């Protein structure tokens, strides 16, 4: 990507969903991102930040999903291949962390292959499940969200999370 191209961050709109899905699809095939139905993207659209190129095309996006009083997850963070390595992912992640502070959580989780990228943004590999108390763990088990199941490291989602690293940072 030419360095002079301007990137703008904004909240996602419903009209972004087809472009977001088009970018997620190949990454989901590679099991880098979680495969989701179109309806899940519309339902979660208010969680998304998008990065737009000067010509209005989608450079990348990411979402912040609140899981509990003090924990949220950065999920579905992706930058289009022609915009990678130019700081777009950094801009999106910083905005998601800002939103995490605004909404009142203290910690942010992610499940990723991009360990170095997240490490540079203050995330550390989660040693075990002690990030949540047993009572909160029991409450989170009631969630039907696949990402929450991945956070809890439940056996049924292990095939999806193979090779991913569970990381967390305190804000
Ligand atoms: C992870 C991902 C979102 C990063 O996006 P990106 O826009 O390439 O990220 P950045 O450009 O901010 O940073 C990537 C690298 O580019 C370099 N870089 C950062 N800012 C730069 C700049 N302004 N100019 C040149 N290089 C830069 C850094 O060396 C950085 O290295 P690091 O990854 O070791 O930290 C992207 O690789 C991606 O879409 N991956 C597939 C989906 C995925 O795995 N998502 C995470 C799971 S939720």
pLDDT in tens, 11-69: 999 999 999 999 999 999 988 898 899 999 999 999 999 999 999 999 999 999 999 99
Residue 104's Cα: distance from chain center in Å?
A: 17
User: Whole-angstrom Cα distance, residue 17 to residue 105?
Assistant: 26
Q: Tell me if 55 is assigned to some domain.
A: yes
Ligand 1 touching residue 98 (CB < 6 A): no
CA-proximal residue: ligand 1, atom 24 (nearest): 86
Q: Tell me if 103 is assigned to some domain.
A: yes
H-only helix segments in the chain = 17-29, 38-43, 88-103, 115-119, 134-140, 146-152, 158-161
Q: Quick one: pLDDT band at residue 5, thresholds 50, 70, 90?
A: low
- pLDDT at residue 157, as a whole number: 84
CB 20 within 8 A of CB 41: yes
To test the pocket of ligand 1, the residue of 87, 109, 150 to mutate (highest count of ligand atoms within 8 Å of its CB) is 87
Q: Is the pLDDT of residue 3 over 80?
A: no
- pLDDT at residue 152, as a whole number: 86
CATH number at residue 81: 3.40.630.30
Residue 43 domain boundaries? 6-168
Contacts of 170 (CB under 8 A, 6+ apart): 106, 107, 122
User: Whole-angstrom Cα distance, residue 40 to residue 111?
Assistant: 19
Q: Tell me if 50 is assigned to some domain.
A: yes
Please state the domain count of the chain.
1
Nearest to 131 by CA among 71, 59, 61, 58: 71
Q: Tell me if 1 is assigned to some domain.
A: no
Q: Quick one: pLDDT band at residue 88, thresholds 50, 70, 90?
A: very high
CA distances from 137 to 67, 109, 131, 132, 153 (A): 11, 14, 9, 6, 11
Residue 51, φ and ψ in degrees, nearest 5: -110, 125
To test the pocket of ligand 1, the residue of 4, 33, 86, 123 to mutate (highest count of ligand atoms within 8 Å of its CB) is 86
pLDDT 10s digits, 94-133: 999 999 999 999 999 999 999 999 999 999 998 876 678 8
Query: Going by DSSP bridges, is the β-strand pair 58-66/48-52 parallel, antiparallel, or unpaired?
Result: antiparallel
- pLDDT at residue 124, as a whole number: 95
**CA 68, 163, 126, 102 torsion: positive or negative?**
negative
- pLDDT at residue 129, as a whole number: 63
User: What's the whole-model pTM score?
Assistant: 0.92
- pLDDT at residue 52, as a whole number: 97
């Amino acid at each position: 990507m030419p360095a002079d191209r301007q990137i703008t961050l904004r909240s996602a709109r419903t009209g972004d969903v087809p472009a977001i899905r088009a970018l997620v699809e190949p990454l989901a095939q590679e099991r880098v991102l979680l495969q989701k139905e179109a309806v899940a993207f519309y339902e979660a659209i208010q969680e998304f930040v998008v990065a737009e190129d000067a010509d209005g095309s989608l450079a990348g996006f990411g979402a912040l999903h609140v899981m509990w009083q003090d924990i949220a997850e950065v999920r579905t963070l992706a930058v289009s291949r022609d915009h990678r390595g130019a700081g777009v992912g950094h801009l999106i992640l910083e905005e998601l962390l800002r939103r995490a502070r605004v909404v009142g959580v203290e910690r942010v989780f992610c499940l990723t292959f991009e360990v170095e990228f997240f490490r540079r943004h203050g995330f550390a590999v989660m040693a075990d499940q002690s990030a949540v108390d047993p009572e909160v763990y029991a409450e989170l088990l009631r969630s039907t969200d696949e990402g929450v199941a991945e956070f809890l490291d439940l056996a049924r989602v292990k095939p999806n999370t193979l090779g991913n690293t569970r990381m967390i940072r305190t804000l």
